[in-house]
Structure 1
Amino acid sequence: MTRTGEPDLEALRALSLVAAERSMSAASAHLGVSQQAVSLRIRGLENDLGARLLVRSARGSQLTPAGEVVVGWAARLLASADEFSDAVATLRTDRRRTIRIAASLTIAEHLLPEWIAGWRIRTGDDGPMVQLTAENSSAVIESVRAGSADLGFIETPFLPDDLGSVVVAHDTVDVVAQPGHRWARSGSVSARELAATSLVLREQGSGTRRALEDALLAADCPVTAEPAAVLSTTLGVRSAIMAGAAPGALSSLAVADDIRAGRLVRVEVGCFRMERPLAAVWSGTAPQPGARDFLDVVARRPRR
């Protein structure tokens, strides 16, 4: 037994192997240690248990009755230990074979499919698998900090200073309205009126919402109106705007097809443009090897 009262697995394994092989030398060869080391392990186990477990003779090594009992008890324990070791090895392999990416909804929906396709073309079927989680930018940052994501992609204009980061693309936030809305007919709205109007918005923590609020604050027109609706998905915001609930603000990537098809109309806001960086973030001084290789593929794509 160890000092903490737990079984000495190495000693039990040595005893079980000697019993199976009936040879100290065969057991030592299997374990990759000297016969003396095997003997010392078994002797220590005998001292801990206060019983003779093995009889050594010119004909080999045989278990005593107490040794037979102990080996029987040890069989299930050693099998469980082996199962645990195999599971840990599998976990480590899976971690090496999987790149855990967390991304804001805009990036997850409109940019990552192309990036992942480029990654698969580069690495082939034998490359690490990309495991993607889509959430808002604040949640992405927390996932990277907590270690549950190897790499994060965010759209907030302010990058966290406790994480490594690099800008991988740029995006604009567009104010859009249903074609019949008066803003759509005029084609523009003042920053002050925008700040005082109830809009369909994403939830707090969304990079899109923060970009809108920060741009209006910088224009000395902080938001004063309560939202007309707060939705947690880009699709939900688009659908509500198209249904006529109220105008809203979304990434230009998210509304480009709707604007081309005439389902939504882009509304100019005063004389400012809501542009923001799209960035990759990671914990530590550099991304993990697989994440670093994925980021290299992203960096080679044309920036939008």
Structure 2
Amino acid sequence: MDQHLVVFKEVAVRKSFSRTAEALHMSQPAVSQYIASLEKELGVRLLERSNKFVELNKAGKIVYQYSQQILRSYDQMQILVSDLQNDPSGELKIGASYTIGEYLLPKLLAELQERYPQIVPEVTIGNTDEIGSQLLHHEIDIGLIEGNYSHQQFSVEQFSTDKMYIIAAKRQPYKVEEEVSIEDLEKETWIIRESGSGTRKVLENFFEKHCLHPKRVLTFGSTQTIKEGVEAGLGISLLSDLTFAKEIQLNKVQKLIIDGTPIKRKFSIIKNHHEFHPKALQVFEELVKQKI
């Protein structure tokens, strides 16, 4: 691996020769020498220096972009060569949207650790758009998302079907056996997820399909907060049945009978499909398909 690129990348990120030297356990003059050598080789200055900071110039930004790709490819090469002789191991960066990450992923990770203890999972949970963006920028290795997210760089494969219901507090004046009209739903306060959420997109489609315009909408950033709001009688919401099974058992919320529900949506695996994938990613993907 080209040590010049390693040093350059660290300087670009840390914006300091001294902090780079400390991080790489090198002397500051050695860091300066590596940068000077790289600039000489390329025939152009890469950094703008002052007493207080180091910044990438236009050429530096180009080199930084490619250095990330080169170093990532080198790391991937090492992993794939190691995979030929060893059991699945190493760090696996997993991204999951909230419903999957909070209600399905923990059991999958427990199974993964039991079968392959040498794999070290690192988990990021966000909304569907955030997970897609992180995969696009190679911040994660694989994503598990709800709803749809397409990009020419990705392969997308469905691994499960989710069922979504409109729920209300148990104490609200709805009878379990009676269908609730769209007109009644329109009078309710709706508690919804933030923009970019797969759950939010499904609900917006439901509103559009039924020409439903709620009198009041509250936006919350987590499923748990929404459930607590519904339970407290703050409003109604549309959620996956995975998320409120305990609340149903405890008789705290109820599913409303509404035409067009339950709403079904896809749970999908997304990954960069023009890349070689290490054993750790492959076995995790197979586990997801087998267990769900």
1:221 Cα deviation after fit: 1.2
In structure 1, give the amino acid aligned to 2:214. A
1:121 Cα deviation after fit: 1.7
User: Secondary structure, in 3 states, of the residue corresponding to 1:228?
Assistant: strand
- Match status 1:177 vs 2:180: no
2:130 alignment partner, one of 110, 124, 139:
139
1:112-133 alpha-carbon deviations (Å, 9 max, x no partner): 011111111221x3x2211001
- Match status 1:101 vs 2:94: yes
- Match status 1:116 vs 2:105: no
1:228 Cα deviation after fit: 3.2
Question: Matches of 2:28 and 2:262 in 1, distance apart?
Answer: 71
Percent identical residues: 20
For residues 1-304 of structure 1, the aligned pairs below 5 Å read 77=30, 92=75, 97-123=90-116, 125=117, 127-156=118-147, 158-162=148-152, 163-184=154-175, 187-191=178-182, 193-195=184-186, 197-217=188-208, 220-225=209-214, 227-285=216-274, 288-289=277-278, 290-301=280-291, 303=292
In structure 2, give the amino acid aligned to 1:280. I
Tell whether the 8 Å contact from 1:201 to 1:227 is kept in structure 2 after alignment. Answer: no
Question: Matches of 1:271 and 1:165 in 2, distance apart?
Answer: 26
Larger Rg: 1
What is the TM-score normalised by the length of structure 1?
0.64
Q: Which runs of 5+ in 2 are unaligned?
A: 5-26, 35-70, 80-88
Root mean square deviation, CA, Å: 3.1
1:55-88 alpha-carbon deviations (Å, 9 max, x no partner): xxxxxxxxxxxxxxxxxxx99629997xxxxxx8
Question: Matches of 1:78 and 1:199 in 2, distance apart?
Answer: 57
Change (3 A) 1:128 1:213: same
Change (3 A) 1:192 1:176: same
Change (3 A) 1:77 1:278: same
Tell whether the 8 Å contact from 2:128 to 2:197 is kept in structure 1 after alignment. Answer: yes
Tell whether the 8 Å contact from 1:150 to 1:287 is kept in structure 2 after alignment. Answer: no
Change (3 A) 1:75 1:216: closer
Q: Structure 1 or 2: larger helix share?
A: 1
User: Secondary structure, in 3 states, of the residue corresponding to 1:189?
Assistant: coil
User: Secondary structure, in 3 states, of the residue corresponding to 1:281?
Assistant: strand
Question: Matches of 2:144 and 2:110 in 1, distance apart?
Answer: 17
1:186 Cα deviation after fit: 5.8
Q: Which runs of 5+ in 1 are unaligned?
A: 1-5, 7-73, 82-87
1:190 Cα deviation after fit: 2.5
